[in-house]
Amino acid sequence: MRFDLVTIFPRLCDGPLGEGIVRRAIERGVVDVQVHDLRDYTTDRHRSVDDVSYGGGPGMVFKPEPLFRAVDAIRAGGDVDAVILTSPQGRRFTQREAERLAGLRRVVLLCGRYEGVDDRVRSGLATEELSIGDYVLSGGELPALVIVDAVVRLLPGAVGDDASVDADSFSRGLLDYPHFTRPAEFRGLRVPDVLLSGNHADIRRWRARESLARTLALRPDLLPSAELDDEERELLRALMDERGAEHGRD
């Protein structure tokens, strides 16, 4: 798979791409990530990428020409499956979106700045828009890097233990169960006895219950679309009955 990031701050991408799972995936040839300086696709001597907004208003707006030229140059090097503009009005980026993108071969990520981008980029160049959340950032580089990180870890060979990816939070629509390591007791806080029992069936059931309990308490909105097996549905019913009984005593 290949990502092409278009930005006016290419060095901002160096750290996240040069560490951890993404760096190892690049070194192993699992993914190729190319960062393009948008200013390389300008034609004036000032290398201008922005201008004032028609109709007035605060802030500067990315001009369409450099972005179109950048994507044209990228497409000249091979087929592109998606041109994604990170945008507050975009579809929410979720684990399901990451899984979808992991099935593509080449993705371009356009990193906006300032007040925004000329709307002709949205309507005539980007094939889709994605948002990583309802808050304001200084630019699109961090959202683009979040998308790259979330997708890369899903690619075969990117993570040493594929089972750990399968068990990640949101992989089936649930939050992860609690994790513990040595020592068994620390400052009066003890690891649950079931995890020390060596009984793998009990441990598996405990983890399933805790994952459901945590999701029910913190993110109940995830449960209607979660992928549950028969045992998990039974555990969830029991948890909801317990919760109803507790509320009834309040």
Catalytic residue among 4, 106, 153, 232: 153
Asked whether residue 138 is domain-assigned, the answer is yes
Domain match, 137 and 205 both: no
Give the model's confidence band at 246: pLDDT under 50 very low, under 70 low, under 90 confident, else very high: confident
How confident is the model over 36-63, as pLDDT tens digits? 999 999 999 999 999 999 999 999 999 9
Is 143 part of the annotated catalytic residue set? no
Is 162 known to be catalytic?
no
pTM given for the model? 0.90
What does the mean pLDDT of the chain come to?
A: 94
166 is catalytic: no
Which of 37, 81, 168, 210 is catalytic? The answer is 168
What is the pLDDT at residue 245?
86
- Provide the domain count of the chain: 2
Rounded (5°) CA angle 241-243-246: 110
Residue 160 lies in a domain: no
Per-residue model confidence as pLDDT tens digits over 2-36:
999 999 999 999 999 999 999 999 999 999 999 99
Asked if residue 152 lies in contact with residue 119, where contact means CB atoms within 8 angstroms, the answer is no
Q: Which of 10, 64, 88, 178 is catalytic?
A: 88
Tell whether 137 and 244 lie within a shared domain.
no
CATH of the domain at 236: 1.10.1270.20
Of 14, 71, 33, 34, nearest to 155 (Cα)? 33
Check residue 114 and give its pLDDT.
80
CATH of the domain at 121: 3.40.1280.10
Short-list 56, 58, 40, CA closest to 48:
40
| 153 labelled catalytic | yes
